[in-house]
């Protein structure tokens, strides 16, 4: 059955089909907490004045088979403005599944519908995981774009919880854990597990945001509570998710005060380790590793199946779950450049940059190597023996006729 498309401008409207949305989300096996209507509604309320939400719904009869909430905005590339579409929740949604349960023909027509309703240069969907039940439905969009790109965002370490986790971890992590626990015990701090609800989530967020504010994340402005907009976004999102029982927190407390924490989201037996921070004066405790181990022990007690790092850097990731990981999951960024003049120009600019970038990197590496290479000192010029004798004679004569003041100086 061919899908019938409909556009909405809000997920928060009273007439939005929330029940149909939730039914669709649960049918998509790879859905995450960042696909929940609670997270999406909080993301919508956090939009700025320059951003507009457009929600594409696809129906087959009375069944919702597609929901794609897109945020339209203007971004500058090389100082030039281009109209860009992102999935709602970007950039704080750590992993998303494409909410689509329809045939490929309907997926292709969805792209045509998007371009008709929302003319743009670039449509970009970040942090999408590959479906476990086959090829991504977005593969066909590449052939219908002036340029399409599927780029790896990150490889997320994951840990499959098993009975082996009841034993002490082996190798170097064991000694790091032992040292950290000794330091924590020495100052009298305690680890606590928290499952907040809607009424307790607010005070808990206040406590952990104060920790983040004075941590390195606060100093560099990269935390989830970095400014008032993000703070309100997180308050709404986590309060709504806590009301559904999806939030878990492990904290390290000293005399009743939080000095370190890990904040996570739990769904389908998978804990997403979303955020952590610690007070800088307790940086040498190694609390992050101890709290990560507490996630695993909590999972054993409550029958969780996985601990995920949620999201990490593509290169040089320092996430402590790398020490305990049993596998990895890949996040992808899909980019589709339209056939409009601005889309073609932006796609061509990307191709040129992809060609120039490795050349530029090699040139910089060559310059750095050249600058680091020691420069050999020039060999001293040795005068012929006859010339040396004449120079010595002239020097002696000059010394004999020098004035007293000159010779003493």
Dump pLDDT digits (tens) for 240-278.
999 999 999 999 999 999 999 999 999 999 999 999 999
CATH number of 162-304: 3.40.630.30
pLDDT tens for residues 348-376? 998 898 888 888 888 888 888 888 876 55
Same fold, 4-155+332-355 and 162-304: yes
| Residues 86 and 67: beta-carbon distance below 8 Å | no
Angle at Cα 264 formed by Cα 251 and Cα 197, nearest 5°? Answer: 80
Q: What is the pLDDT of residue 10?
A: 98
Read off the DSSP letter of residue 287: H
Question: Of 277, 283, 280, 249, whose CA–CA distance to 263 is shortest?
Answer: 249
pLDDT tens for residues 138-181? 999 999 999 999 999 999 999 999 999 999 998 999 999 999 99
* Domain 4-155+332-355 is found in CATH 3.40.630: yes
Q: What is the pTM of this model?
A: 0.86
Q: What percent of the chain has pLDDT over 90?
A: 79
Residue appearing with tokens 């600058």: 371
Residues 321 and 296: their CA atoms lie apart, in Å, by 10
Retrieve residue 14's tokens. Answer: 């009273």
Give, for 243, the enclosing helix (H) or strand (E).
Answer: helix 228-243
The pLDDT of residue 197 is above 50? yes
The pLDDT of residue 22 is above 90? yes
What is the residue-averaged pLDDT of the chain? 91
Give, for 254, the enclosing helix (H) or strand (E).
Answer: strand 247-254
Where along the chain do its domains lie?
A: 4-155+332-355, 162-304
Q: What is the pLDDT of residue 397?
A: 38
pLDDT tens for residues 63-111? 999 999 999 999 999 889 999 999 999 999 999 999 999 999 999 999 9
Q: What percent of the chain has pLDDT over 70?
A: 91
Residues 6 or more apart whose CB falls under 8 angstroms from that of 34 comprise 89, 93, 94, 95, 96, 127, 265
Question: Of 163, 184, 166, whose CA–CA distance to 293 is shortest?
Answer: 166
| Residues 48 and 229: beta-carbon distance below 8 Å | yes
Find the distance separating the first CA and the last CA of the chain, reported in whole Å: 105
What angle do helix axes 37-45 and 18-27 make, rounded to 10 degrees?
120
Tell me how far CA of residue 325 lies from CA of 156, 233, 296, 309, 322, in angstroms.
Answer: 9, 31, 11, 9, 5
Mapped onto helix, strand or coil, the DSSP state of residue 347 is helix
pLDDT tens for residues 376-393? 555 555 545 444 445 444
């Amino acid at each position: 059955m061919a899908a019938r498309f409909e556009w909405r401008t809000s997920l928060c409207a009273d007439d939005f089909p929330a029940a149909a949305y939730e039914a669709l989300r649960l049918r998509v096996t790879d859905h995450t907490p960042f696909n929940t209507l609670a997270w999406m509604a909080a993301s919508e309320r956090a939009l700025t004045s320059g951003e507009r939400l457009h929600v594409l719904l696809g129906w087959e009869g009375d069944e919702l088979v597609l929901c794609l909430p897109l945020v339209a905005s203007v971004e500058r590339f090389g100082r030039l403005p281009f109209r860009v579409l992102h999935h709602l929740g970007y950039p704080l949604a750590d992993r998303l599944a494409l909410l689509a349960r329809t045939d490929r023909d309907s997926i292709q027509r969805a792209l045509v519908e998007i371009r008709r309703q929302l003319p743009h240069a670039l449509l970009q969907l970040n942090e999408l995981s590959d479906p476990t039940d086959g090829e991504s439905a977005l593969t066909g969009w590449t052939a219908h774009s002036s340029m399409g790109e599927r780029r790896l965002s990150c490889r997320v370490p994951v840990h499959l919880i098993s009975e082996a986790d009841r034993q002490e971890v082996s190798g170097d992590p064991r000694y790091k854990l032992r040292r950290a626990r000794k330091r924590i015990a020495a100052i009298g701090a305690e680890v606590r597990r928290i499952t907040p609800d809607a009424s307790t989530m607010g005070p808990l967020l206040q406590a952990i945001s104060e920790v983040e504010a004075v941590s390195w994340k606060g100093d560099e402005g990269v935390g989830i509570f970095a400014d008032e907009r993000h703070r309100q976004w997180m308050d709404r999102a986590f309060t709504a998710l806590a009301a559904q029982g999806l939030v878990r927190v492990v904290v390290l407390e000293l005399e009743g005060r939080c000095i370190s924490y890990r904040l996570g989201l739990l769904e389908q037996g998978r804990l997403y380790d979303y955020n952590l921070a610690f007070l800088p004066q307790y940086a040498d405790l190694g609390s992050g590793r101890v709290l990560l181990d507490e996630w695993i022990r909590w999972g054993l007690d409550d029958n969780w199946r996985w601990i995920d790092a949620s999201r990490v850097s593509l290169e040089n990731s320092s996430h402590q779950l790398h020490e305990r990981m049993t596998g990895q999951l890949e996040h992808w960024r899909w980019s589709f450049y339209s056939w409009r003049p601005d889309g073609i120009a932006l796609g061509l600019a990307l191709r040129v940059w992809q060609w120039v970038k490795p050349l530029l990197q090699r040139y910089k590496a060559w310059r750095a190597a050249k600058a680091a290479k020691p420069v050999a000192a020039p060999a001293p010029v040795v005068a012929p023996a006859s010339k040396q004798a004449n120079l010595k004679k002239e020097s002696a004569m000059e010394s004999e006729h020098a004035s007293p003041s000159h010779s003493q100086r």
